[in-house]
Amino acid sequence: MKIEMISTGDEILTGFITDTNATYLSAKLLDIHIKMTRRSTVGDNLESLVNIFEERGKEADIVIVNGGLGPTTDDLSAEAASLAMKESLVLFEEAKNHLLSWYDSRNRQMPSNNIKQAYLPQSAQIIPNPNGTACGFVVRIKKALFFFTPGVPHEFKPMIENFVIPKILEHPLYVKASQEQVYRYFIFGIGESNLDKLLETINLPKSIHLGYRVDYPYLELKLISENATETEYTRTTTQIERLVGKYIIASDFFDFYESIGNSFFNQNVLIYDKSGLSLDLSDLLKVLHFNTYVSIKDEQKDSMEIFSNGAAQAKVIYTFRVCIFKYPVGLNEVTDFFDDIFIISFYDKNNQELFSRTLKLHSKGATLKQLLSFTIADLMRRYALDLNPYVQYDTIKDYSPLNSDN
């Protein structure tokens, strides 16, 4: 099954806005084991739109068009579709009533130019839009089924989930397409080029290929199989897991934080942050049922005293503690340090150190905070799942005394 997307609008073509709808759609299609075969971006030009609708209508099975359904003169998707189909635009009473109801419910009078949104190609099927004024619609151009959707993300996403995806699942070609499987590995601690180099040694069958996506601070490795035999599939996954298993933080679904929450269920966790970075640990904290996060910025306070006595003062027994310090300036054993070296230490309920890492993170600014926050979560995960907490990250310089790596 060939599924394509056409994004419309000068603002996307010129880079004034990021096409987050395209990223969202690609991910939703992968969830049903379909890889988008092509994405195009076209400006607000009637001739260009007509040409690409006719061209892709000859090649694709399904095309999802995003944008150009508004009331202004540069919203041209419906008109271009009618020209590509050689059909007239007609007033749809259902779309007109939706517009009137939308404005009435807000005690507003509909501007006269909004009626344009109710004119659609004569054979169109309307896609309801409870979240905005522009109804979507479905038409056939050449051999392809075209879904026209609004560009506003909070209108686009429900339309995809509630209408477009179900229609794709009903498509006669979907049964064949479902033989295409996409399995994902989420990987942290190794760069994309080094990951690719490691995987070069795998002798991939023709039925399987690999894809990469960066979602900082981790990578997504996609194993895409098309009619692969069970033997081919198993052999490939086994090789991948043998080569990069120590960097895999989740498989198939991104349940990274959920695995941490399950491991620390019913445990009291204290996270003491003396990094000075105002770390964003919200994703981690929300999966910990019982947690206390303390960020200390007052240099006059005795940091270790606060850390050691904080639990007692609060009359809470913490079964697990995390302490993050910026590396003390002036220590000579590290010869090439900058301000981005941190000591991350983990303690049990008796304040006995379980393990500690001294790490130099090769990032600055917001990415440094993001990388440090994620590293803390990964080290917690490793400890909880009885994995080696001294794993050597490819992308992070390590000054820790090392245990055996695995």
Class of domain 180-254: alpha beta
Give the residue extent of every domain in the chain: 3-176, 180-254, 264-398
**Coil, helix or strand at residue 156:** helix
Higher pLDDT, 225 or 7: 7
Q: For residue 294, what pLDDT is reported? A: 86
Residue 405 has pLDDT above 60, yes or no: no
Query: Residue 76 is encoded by which pair of tokens?
Result: 């041209």
Class of domain 264-398: alpha beta
Residue 330 has pLDDT above 90, yes or no: no
Residues 6+ away with beta carbon under 8 Å from 361: 340, 341, 342, 368, 371, 372, 375, 396
Query: Stretch 221-250: mean pLDDT, rounded?
Result: 92
Which of 30, 8, 29, 3 has its CA nearest to residue 19? 8
Alpha helix positions (H), 245-341:
256-263, 282-285, 303-314
Burial bucket for residue 16 (CB in 10 Å: 0-12, 13-18, 19+): exposed
Backbone CA torsion sign across 137, 142, 145, 147: negative
Query: Residue 355 is encoded by which pair of tokens?
Result: 């393990």
Express each pLDDT in 276-286 by its tens digit: 888 889 999 99
Task: Tell whether omega for the bond before 130 is within 30 degrees of 0, i.e. cis.
Answer: no
CA distance 379 to 263: 13
Express each pLDDT in 95-107 by its tens digit: 999 999 999 999 9
Express each pLDDT in 349-384 by its tens digit: 888 999 999 998 878 888 889 999 999 999 999 999
Which amino acid appears at position 5 of this protein?
M
Residue 251 pairs in a beta bridge with: 185
The fold adopted by the segment(s) 3-176 is Molybdenum Cofactor Biosythetic Enzyme; Chain A (3.40.980)
Q: pTM, whole model, 2 decimals?
A: 0.64
Express each pLDDT in 163-189 by its tens digit: 999 999 998 887 655 556 788 999 999
Residue 313 has pLDDT above 50, yes or no: no
CA distance 75 to 67: 8
Residue 159 has pLDDT above 60, yes or no: yes
Residue 315 has pLDDT above 60, yes or no: no
